[in-house]
Structure 1
Amino acid sequence: MPRTDAKKSNHKHKYCYEMNSNPRGTVLILSNENFKNMERRVGTKQDEVNLTKLFQKLQYTVICKRNLEAESMLEAIKEFAEMAHTDSIILFLLSHGDGAGSVFGIDDMPVNVMEVSTYLAYHQNLLLKPKWVAVSACRGGKLNMGVPVDGLPALEDKCAPISKFWNLMMSRIMPGTFTSLNADVIISFSTTDGFTSYRDEEAGTWYIKSMCKVFNKHSKTMHLLDILTETGRNVVTKYENVQGNVVLKQAPEILSRLTKQWHFSRSM
């Protein structure tokens, strides 16, 4: 290898996650539409179609499971972690959610998002690999009203996440090598903590529709954090729900503990 190519390769290894496996990664989509007592999530099937088409094009294996109860969602995530031997994994949680940090199974029981991300971060199979948990769900019932930049509403205290499923999720954690626990994980939310998330019955959710558009346009040149930032900009600036004189908005949120750039093109 020429000296310049060797330097370039070392630079990539230091600052970018390796994306050499075939398939490049594995995606699990958990999509809940029909619930015991909650409103039907019409439009989630379009999100499934958009995500499946996108990530298959990006050379990911895509697994989609629909209408699972909470415990079955956790079992599906555990199986997903056990079988994931690719260079990256992505988990999409498409469901109803609440202000306590959970999404719901179709039995109306909660699954805590942070505990799911912790389980994936601790799992032996996934150490040092990038892991992305993407949540398209409400995070409370507050309405994000469009306001002038000099008139922002006050924020309320966050609720502490509580889940009865913690022991189930942690039951099969394997001891890991020495790395920072919780590293190499990114969690993205369709909306801000405490607020609603919007969904079109025909086009799907604002968040997933916008994300797929940004990926299709920029996946060869941008890394994941930039893609999610651009997704957030698109949702904030291009989508709104007008109800009389009130304009309702939505602002996605990102929690990143990635230690390198996550590119989706091997040429990067």
Structure 2
Amino acid sequence: MLEGEVQDNGSVEAEQRANGGGDEGDAQGSHNSSHSRRIARMPVDRNAPYYNMNHKHRGIALIFNHEHFDIHSLKSRTGTNVDSDNLAKVLKGLGFRVTVLTNSKSEEVMKYIQEVADMDHTDFDCLVIAVLTHGELGMLYAKDTHYKPENLWYYFTGDKCPTLAGKPKLFFIQACQGDKLDGGITLSRTETDGSSSASYKIPVHADFLIVFSTVPGYYSWRNTTRGSWFMQALCDELRYNGTERDILTLLTFVCQRVALDYESNTPDLMPMHQQKQVPCITSMLTRLLVFGRKQPQS
């Protein structure tokens, strides 16, 4: 056994004694983990408040755009090409190298994901993956079959893609998460109303941001002419504020736009008429993310 490993274990035990004991997980059963030391290049100082967005390149952006499906129960997603075109244009303006993949089968989706995960991202700031498709709770649809959303980010954890460790990995998913409808509620106002840090360790699932167009169990709306509510709002915010606001502030205003500015218009189908929607954000980011200005990609 290496001497350094003995010292590490001793320091952990000493720290546990100093803190009054060790940490335990709130779960029962067996646990799978690897204790082998995995090292990735440190992209930013340990306590830096912002992600380093000054690498040579912004990064890769993959857009999986699904309009047509082999599954007979799934209708064509008219209007999705508007979303795809708008998002690609906005991301190129932020400096991303954008690839749009249309009507890919499940095997092709995973193939592209693994190819990008196997790339060297050393000179990249971050990663963006967007999926525009049909969905249900806990599943997304490719052209031929469904797959789990977590398959999208599985290969990008810090242990599997070390050149993206410590860098933001963003996932935007435009899809239903169920068939529940949100009728909304009316609110009324009343009168009474520098790199000097030592190396440091991070969790392999740190630095992910996953944004669904709607909350679990609920319907997600798309206009056949203008595109989905979520993608319209996201593209507008990225276009006008993408280089100034940090991403979580920006996404808060995306939620505001979707929640307040949109309402379904289906008077011939009253149960679906005047329904609302709000996106759902899951953040494992550990710093503020501001894209800043970068040379646009053609």
Compute the TM-score of the two structures, normalised by the length of structure 2: 0.72
1:132, distance to aligned residue in structure 2 (A): 0.4
1:266, distance to aligned residue in structure 2 (A): 4.8
Correspondence 1:58 to 2:81 = no
Q: 1:69 aligns with which of 88, 102, 105?
A: 105
Q: Tell whether the 8 Å contact from 1:143 to 1:248 is kept in structure 2 after alignment.
A: yes
| Greater than 4 Å deviation, 4+ residue runs | 10-13
- Between the aligned partners of 2:167 and 2:208, the Cα distance in structure 1 is 8
Q: Secondary structure at the match of 1:14?
A: coil
Structure 1: tracts of 5 or more residues without a match: 1-9, 151-176
Count residues in correspondence: 230
Q: Secondary structure at the match of 1:61?
A: strand
Q: Tell whether the 8 Å contact from 2:94 to 2:293 is kept in structure 1 after alignment.
A: no
Q: Secondary structure at the match of 1:20?
A: coil
TM-superposition CA deviations, 1:209-239 (whole Å, max 9, x none): 1111111221232011111110010000000
Correspondence 1:104 to 2:131 = no
Q: Tell whether the 8 Å contact from 1:220 to 1:264 is kept in structure 2 after alignment.
A: yes
Q: Indicate the residue corresponding to 1:228 in structure 2.
A: 251
- Between the aligned partners of 2:255 and 2:293, the Cα distance in structure 1 is 25
1:24, distance to aligned residue in structure 2 (A): 1.1
Q: Indicate the residue corresponding to 1:5 in structure 2.
A: none
Q: Indicate the residue corresponding to 1:265 in structure 2.
A: 292
- Between the aligned partners of 1:15 and 1:266, the Cα distance in structure 2 is 18
Correspondence 1:14 to 2:48 = yes
Q: Tell whether the 8 Å contact from 1:55 to 1:62 is kept in structure 2 after alignment.
A: yes
TM-superposition CA deviations, 1:163-198 (whole Å, max 9, x none): xxxxxxxxxxxxxx9420210000001011111111
Q: 1:126 aligns with which of 140, 164, 181?
A: 164
- Between the aligned partners of 2:202 and 2:88, the Cα distance in structure 1 is 32
- Between the aligned partners of 2:227 and 2:97, the Cα distance in structure 1 is 22
1:72, distance to aligned residue in structure 2 (A): 1.1
Higher alpha-carbon Rg: 2
Correspondence 1:142 to 2:180 = yes
Q: Secondary structure at the match of 2:157?
A: helix
TM-superposition CA deviations, 1:132-188 (whole Å, max 9, x none): 0110000011111122359xxxxxxxxxxxxxxxxxxxxxxxxxx942021000000
TM-aligned CA distance change 1:243 to 1:34, over 3 Å = closer
Q: Percent identity?
A: 30
Q: Tell whether the 8 Å contact from 1:118 to 1:182 is kept in structure 2 after alignment.
A: no
When the two chains are superposed, the root-mean-square deviation of aligned CA atoms in Å is 2.2
Task: Specify the code of the residue in structure 1 equivalent to 2:226.
Answer: A
Structure 2: tracts of 5 or more residues without a match: 1-43, 189-199
Q: How does 1:155-234 map to 2 (within 5 A)?
A: 178-234=201-257
Q: Tell whether the 8 Å contact from 2:230 to 2:258 is kept in structure 1 after alignment.
A: yes
- Between the aligned partners of 1:12 and 1:198, the Cα distance in structure 2 is 41
Q: Indicate the residue corresponding to 2:279 in structure 1.
A: 252
- Between the aligned partners of 1:248 and 1:223, the Cα distance in structure 2 is 30
Compute the TM-score of the two structures, normalised by the length of structure 1: 0.80
Correspondence 1:44 to 2:44 = no
- Between the aligned partners of 2:120 and 2:175, the Cα distance in structure 1 is 25
Correspondence 1:30 to 2:64 = yes
Q: Secondary structure at the match of 2:85?
A: helix
Q: Tell whether the 8 Å contact from 1:26 to 1:84 is kept in structure 2 after alignment.
A: no
Bigger share in helix? 1
Deviates more, 1:90-99 or 1:218-227: 218-227
Task: Specify the code of the residue in structure 2 equivalent to 1:56.
Answer: K
- Between the aligned partners of 2:120 and 2:217, the Cα distance in structure 1 is 32
Q: Tell whether the 8 Å contact from 2:135 to 2:178 is kept in structure 1 after alignment.
A: yes
Q: Tell whether the 8 Å contact from 1:19 to 1:266 is kept in structure 2 after alignment.
A: no
Q: Tell whether the 8 Å contact from 1:20 to 1:266 is kept in structure 2 after alignment.
A: no
TM-superposition CA deviations, 1:18-44 (whole Å, max 9, x none): 112232121000111110121101111
